[in-house]
Amino acid sequence: MNTTPKVVIVDPDPSDCLAMFRDRAGVGFQLHVLSSGRGALRFASTVPGALWLVNTRLPDMSGLELYHMLRPRLSGAAVLMVSDEYSVQEELQVCSLGNTTYLAKPLDMLSVDDLVAASGQSATQCTQSQEERRMVA
């Protein structure tokens, strides 16, 4: 049985996401890159337990639509939603989904370890970060 951690990137421009894994290529991660929601749906059952990075803006559907379709198929998988640019409204939509985290490009300041930590963030933590941001503003 292959125990190498799997990462699925669903993004029409995956360069930011791939950059985080550049230094670790071939060192413990199995990467899969898909550019559309339909491709991700076909691929979903082949990588149980993977960490998913899903762009919120895909060419054939929104990442939020894809999340709703993927969730029943991805038992135990972590899904991180990635936006091309930060949007408060989009972050609130992602946080309302529950068990996911919102990230905005560029992701060059994040490490693979940051992603793993973010994949364990709960909806409660997401809500708390929203509250903290409002108090600072």
Phi, then psi, of 46 in degrees rounded to 5: -90, -10
Rounded CA separation 50/59 (Å) = 22
The CATH number for 6-136, chosen from 1.20.1250.20, 1.10.390.10, 3.40.50.2300, 2.102.10.10, is 3.40.50.2300
21 vs 13, higher pLDDT:
13
Q: What share of the chain in percent tops pLDDT 70?
A: 72
d(CA 124, CA 130): 10
Higher pLDDT, 113 or 128: 113
| Least confident stretch, 6-15, 51-60, 126-135 | 126-135
Inter-CA distances, 41 with 3, 37, 50, 63, 72, Å? 23, 6, 14, 12, 11
pLDDT tens for each residue of 25-64: 556 678 899 999 999 999 998 887 788 999 999 999 999 9
